[in-house]
Chain A
């Protein structure tokens, strides 16, 4: 089992719809969860982080965390074509890892007009 798994995608949604990106992780000791967006040919860009159970909203983005189920998700409301990118879920490694993150394989999102 991979340490961080994301729904395989690719995910295609129409403009204006809600895009739902999912991620599960294996280490119950993980405390910090991140979503990165990566446009084709560009570097990953941090867009959201969440540390506590529940929802965290930032504009059109909502991160949801359920530590009991070891599940984190990213919802994008009113999806725009400019949201088309690969979304990477990242989770802190356990122990004394000093900032080390484990990344999922990414989900490709396409928002079509």
Chain B
């Protein structure tokens, strides 16, 4: 049963702390997306990678967010320092080739106090 996995599923942290979220895309998928979802803004694309290379990170606050793909089976999203406005659900999704179909992981619910 191929699926995207994300860890942790929940994270509560204090303002100023570093947060790292991890994603394992579906095996064989070569495109990975990071989204943030809030009630006010809906689903926003933060960054995405193809064949591990970053293609677009224009949706990310550059001063505090960073996204990497150390290898084909792992994508990371880091926030340093975290702020209360970063509280949201962060989703990772993966896709393959020229297809636009994306498959979402279960998400990481982040609360910054």
Contact = CB atoms under 8 A, between A and B. Distances in A.
Interface of A: 32, 34, 42-46, 49, 88, 92, 97-106
A43 B93 CA distance: 10
Interface of A, secondary structure class, is loop
Interface in B8-67: 31, 33, 42-43, 45, 48, 50, 55-56
Contacts of A32: 100
Interface of B: 31, 33, 42-43, 45, 48, 50, 55-56, 91, 95, 98-107
Contacts of A99: 31, 33, 48, 50, 95, 98-100, 102
Contacts, number: 50
Contacts of A43: 91, 104-107
Nearest to B41: A105
25 contacts: A34-B101, A34-B102, A42-B106, A43-B91, A43-B106, A43-B107, A44-B43, A44-B91, A44-B104, A46-B102, A46-B103, A49-B100, A88-B43, A97-B56, A98-B31, A98-B48, A98-B50, A99-B50, A99-B99, A100-B33, A100-B48, A100-B55, A101-B45, A103-B42, A104-B42
A34 B43 CA distance: 14
Contacts of A105: 42
Nearest to A105: B42
Contacts of B99: 99
Contact of A100 (B43, B45, B105): B45
Contact of A92 (B43, B48, B100, B106): B100
Contacts of B100: 32, 34, 49, 92, 99, 101
A101 to B, nearest CB: 6
A85 to B, nearest CB: 14
A55 B48 CA distance: 31
Across the A-B interface, give the 6 residue pairs with the lowest CB-CB distance, nearest first: A43-B104, A32-B100, A103-B43, A105-B42, A92-B100, A99-B31
Contacts of A42: 106
Contacts of A92: 100
Contacts of B50: 98-99
